[in-house]
Amino acid sequence: MRKKTMDSLEVRGKKVYVRVDYNVPLDADGVITDDTRIRATLPTLRQLLDGGAALILASHMGRPKGKRVAEYSLAPAAKRLSQLLERPVRLAPDCIGEETKALAQALRPGEILMLENVRFHPEEEANDPEFAQELAALADVAVNDAFGVSHRAHASVVGVARVLPMAAGRLVAQEIHFLEDTVTEPKRPFVAIIGGAKVSDKIAVLERLVRIADTLIIGGGMANTFLLARGMDVGTSLVETDARDLALRVLRTAEAEGKQVLLPSDVVTADAFREDAEPHRHPATRIPADEMVLDIGPETAEAFAAAVLPAATVLWNGPMGVFEWASFADGTKRVAEAVAANEGISIVGGGDSVAAIESCGLADRVTHISTGGGASLAYLEGKELPGIECLAEED
Ligand code: ADP
Ligand code: MG
């Protein structure tokens, strides 16, 4: 990785601006229901505090659309962080302005100031340079540890980085390591499992991975379009007829490059898109005209698992079926188990795939869980992420 990481920042006696992602879910009473994102930043924050820095934390929360909205205050996050770090965390009344500036100026090493929601200002999402300048003026150096917003060119990341040298925090450095370095120069065999609803959502990922991976496994709703492209009838399944050519192109690329592609050989279907619909198993070549595919079949799940187990690198993005419903979750579960049991490097990205492996209780057996939904997908597509591109280069 050529980007500067916080390990090479000189922070003693400095004020360090850290862009975190504390966009945590709250219940109706404003109580945090899942503090994973706050906990995830603790190693970054502790390292900076131990190094003698004062911290100025910036985050967004919810979608206040450029206005001050009380329910999107970062007050609950500041309180939770204070409990986790066992130190005071002061919440500024705003993220810019005279009062905030005075609070930042008075900060001593070891102290923490959390700025109020940056999205209370429309200038944040507009990447306004003057707004970014005001944020940057609060600190001496900057760190981006908010991978989940790094696919956006917003002021609190990209704008600040134009003014202050910005380094990758531990979370962002880890994402770069696994989603870029490991994927572009994988230990082989490299097996990529792509699923989820639609081919059109992930065509760029498919086209890139079919070139990099040794084996491409395709499941979930998108597999229907591949089955259709191979001339099979997929009944009333979710299918993208207009993406059939895209699927064909992926299959042809695989063939030309000598890559293995695994598609479902059997499927679990139902007569309606309903949680309580009765599941039926069929070979993929004999899907009834009035049924829809909602999961991969057991034979397919075993074949996918067998391909995943010996891989040196496994990347998984997208569930194998409608895993939210118990009757159609088995395929996703079996793949999750195989990814967890794999002894190589395993990487899981994508909001629903991460939810799936977490609901199986297997997340701690994966080498890297990518925390950004949209950002992970953009990274896997090989896109340049503005929030990563803007980071300073390693000296
Ligand atoms: P991720 O968030 O991991 O990238 P996606 O958002 O692409 O995954 O896809 C997840 C969604 O795809 C889930 O809501 C799941 O129910 C749906 N899905 C998976 N297989 C099917 C299928 N066969 N038919 C309809 N929907 C499906
Ligand atoms: Mg999703």
What are the angstrom distances between the C-alpha of 89 and each of 34, 111, 391?
19, 7, 26
Structure-token pair, residue 112 = 């923490």
Catalytically active residues, by annotation: 37, 198, 351, 374
What is the 196 CA–ligand 1 centroid distance (Å)? Answer: 3
Residues paired with 194 in a beta bridge:
218, 317
| For the CA of 317, the nearest atom of ligand 1 | 3
What is the 195 CA–ligand 1 centroid distance (Å)? Answer: 7
Give every strand in the sheet of 292-296, ordered side by side.
280-283, 266-270, 292-296
| For the CA of 353, the nearest atom of ligand 1 | 3
Sort strands 141-144 and 166-168 into parallel, antiparallel or unpaired. Answer: parallel
Q: What is the mean pLDDT of residues 205-223?
A: 96
Q: Which of the two residues, 15 and 30, has the higher pLDDT score? A: 15
Identify the band that residue 372 occupies on the pLDDT scale cut at 50, 70 and 90.
confident
Q: Which amino acid is at 164?
A: L
240-272 tens-digit pLDDT = 999 999 999 999 999 999 999 999 999 999 999
pLDDT for the residue 1? 61
* Cα 243 from Cα 220, distance rounded (Å): 15
**What percent of the chain has a predicted confidence (pLDDT) above 90?**
96
* Cα 316 from Cα 55, distance rounded (Å): 35
pLDDT for the residue 366? 97
What is the 323 CA–ligand 1 centroid distance (Å)? Answer: 8
355 Cβ below 6 A of ligand 1 = no
Strands (E) in the chain, as ranges, are 15-19, 54-58, 90-91, 112-114, 141-144, 166-168, 190-194, 215-218, 260-262, 266-270, 280-283, 292-296, 313-317, 345-348, 368-369
321 Cβ below 6 A of ligand 1 = yes
386 Cβ below 6 A of ligand 1 = no
Q: Which of 112, 102, 107 is nearest to 55 (CA)?
A: 112
* Cα 34 from Cα 138, distance rounded (Å): 30
350 Cβ below 6 A of ligand 1 = yes
Q: Is the per-residue pLDDT at 72 higher than 90?
A: yes
Per mean pLDDT, which range of 320-329, 330-339, 375-384 is the poorest? 375-384
Q: By alpha-carbon position, which residue is closest to atom 5 of ligand 1? A: 196
pTM for the complete prediction?
0.92
129-169 tens-digit pLDDT = 999 999 999 999 999 999 999 999 999 999 999 999 999 99
pLDDT for the residue 395? 83
Helix (H) or strand (E) run with residue 202 in it: helix 199-212
Helix (H) or strand (E) run with residue 355 in it: helix 351-359
Q: By alpha-carbon position, which residue is closest to atom 19 of ligand 1? A: 321
381 Cβ below 6 A of ligand 1 = no
Mean pLDDT of the chain: 96
Strand, helix or coil at 285?
helix
What is the 116 CA–ligand 2 centroid distance (Å)? Answer: 29
Q: Which residues of 280-307 are buried (b: 16+ CB within 10 A; e: fewer)?
A: eebebeebeeebbbbbbbeebbebbbeb
